[in-house]
Structures are given as C-alpha cells and as structure tokens.
Amino acid sequence: NDARLNYACHRLENTSDSITNICLDSGFESQRTFNRVFKERYKISPSDYRRTCVKDMLS
C-alpha cells in the first residue's frame, strides 16, 4: 500500500485528475477502499490533502 499511496499523493499534488481516476490508476479496486487506506495513513481525506497542497503552492 505504501507504494500505491505515494503514487497517489504525487498525482494529487501534481495533476488535476479526478480522485476516482487516481485511485484506480494507483491500483485500488474502489474509491471507498482508497479513501479508507489514505485516511488511515495520512489522517486526512484525499480531497482535503489536495486542497492543502494547492493552498500551500499558492502561498
């Protein structure tokens, strides 16, 4: 899962691809599983993670 989550984070930070596409491209079978695993590791949802990255880039 670490490699898949690292790939997903890179995509969330550097693309405007949909979270669904990122989750599937990262090898997760469902967005529900992706969201659960992501939140367990980072304590934040993928969409909030992306929002935080964008905000950091703009400041």
CB atoms within 10 A of CB 49: 19
- In this prediction, residue 29 carries a pLDDT of 94
20 vs 5, 24, 50, 57, 58, CA distance in Å? 14, 6, 13, 23, 24
Domains and CATH numbers, the chain: 2-46 (1.10.10.60)
**Residue 24 confidence class, pLDDT cut points 50, 70, 90:** very high
- In this prediction, residue 58 carries a pLDDT of 77
Q: What is the mean pLDDT of the chain?
A: 94
